[in-house]
Chain A
């Protein structure tokens, strides 16, 4: 595409089927302990 550069084509929908396994890190254990950003955690199944 000439006008659009897509950074990610990942769709949330596609992660529903496999998702929710619960093996990934609890967000507050990572670095901040006072707030929550789940979006910067990573998935254990990738």
Chain B
């Protein structure tokens, strides 16, 4: 495959060196040289470009290009490592606890089927929750940082268990020299002063679900009685975020084919005063009327570009916000191995149902074929675990040849499975969106380089 990826966006010519991860912003001359570089000799390049540029400029620019090539930061070779020696001990370090398979909203696109995950409405008992934390500690080897997300349905519907589990986790931390990082995902309906206080004190991140503009939200996120939820939730979220101070949170929306102009929803969040924003494409099979289809891609891609322009403008004016997918920290990103192995579902990350069953991640819960074991007996479907472990950017044909592989890391297994019936065949629409988001994020970084935020 090619060794570089070039694109022009937001007034920048950007050259990404795929294999080293180095990123360069170049002028038009270097942009043209790069195009010729691999298939032409130095003389040929000079000859081809001297009509458009002074020859000494071409020579000088070529020297710069060659210096980077020599340093291994341009046209560098693939690091292909055939033996990805990752997690031989099958360490588990993160759990998604399905505290309640029940919900007090009836979001139309809910992958959890309005909270019950295709099963009965159920709450996790304290006993199952404790067993899950024990299981995590026992299987975490020498990892210190352990993550537990309280998820649902709607976890606030079973909040006493959440509180007791946090307390139990703190006891385990001391005994076993671990550190639990608790997070929670909520729709906000049941937020009140007491649970807000508890969450702010104990959760390191909080994901607040809301879909953006009132009309968009109320259409997709009605209450049980069919009314809109926006007016109930927004004041609570605003109060919550104010109490939260500097601790991390995300307001998180979903976009569907009903709001392909989702940049407006992102900006609506910003206007309301939220600073950390994530708006994600819906995961829905094509027969749903709100599903995202190939024919929507062009609009979606333009929308990401549009958002990136606004985003840069706000940041430059000192009035910026964070959009999850535009926040690539080019210098402190994850190590190579993490980039290769991806999300860790089914291996180091597992989901736990209210009954204590283990699944590869929250998106697979409810699909019996993917049951991996339970918190009492541990993981017993070893073949399935091996299959997840083996799904990485070198084992997926599409990823091998994709310039975005070291940012994307192979996409979402659940999407791949749902759309292509294989963990190793990424879902094309997701890929296109992901590649655009990465280009946008890098163009944002290029535009903000040297600016104080």
Where the two chains meet, the residues of A that have a C-beta atom closer than 8 Å to any C-beta of B are 1-13, 15-16, 18-46
Contact = CB atoms under 8 A, between A and B. Distances in A.
Interface of B: 19-27, 29-30, 60-61, 64-65, 67-68, 71-73, 76, 79, 81, 85-87, 91, 93-94, 96, 111, 143-145, 147, 149, 151, 181, 183, 185, 205, 207, 250, 252, 254, 276, 278, 280-281, 283, 324-325, 327-339, 342-345, 348-349, 361-363, 406-412, 414-415, 430, 434, 437-438, 441-442, 445-446, 449
Given A3-B30, A31-B250, A38-B338, A26 B348 contact: yes
A24 B185 contact: no
12 contacts: A6-B23, A6-B25, A6-B73, A8-B331, A10-B331, A29-B94, A34-B283, A35-B412, A35-B415, A35-B434, A36-B343, A37-B437
B330 A10 contact: yes
B430 A6 contact: no
Contacts of B345: 28
Nearest to B338: A38
A23 B68 contact: no
Instruction: List the 10 closest A-B pairs by CB distance, nearest first.
Output: A19-B335, A39-B407, A38-B409, A20-B337, A8-B330, A15-B335, A26-B94, A31-B250, A11-B20, A12-B336
A43 B335 CA distance: 7
B49 to A, nearest CB: 12
Given A5-B449, A9-B73, A40 B145 contact: no
Nearest to A30: B205
A26 to B, nearest CB: 4
A40 B250 CA distance: 15
Contacts of A7: 23-25, 330, 442, 445-446, 449
A3 B74 CA distance: 14
Contacts of A44: 145
Main secondary structure on B side of the interface with A: mixed
A20 B153 CA distance: 33
Given A20-B335, A26-B349, A11 B73 contact: yes
A28 B361 contact: yes
A35 B328 CA distance: 15
Contacts of A32: 252, 278, 280, 324
B324 A31 contact: yes
B441 A4 contact: no
A6 B333 CA distance: 16
Nearest to A43: B334
A41 B76 contact: no
Given A2-B64, A11-B76, A13-B336, A36 B278 contact: no
Nearest to B209: A33
A40 to B, nearest CB: 5
Contacts of B71: 9
A24 B254 CA distance: 26
B406 A12 contact: yes
Given A3-B29, A39-B406, A40-B441, A26 B333 contact: no
A36 to B, nearest CB: 5
Given A12-B21, A20-B86, A36-B343, A3 B434 contact: no
B344 A31 contact: no
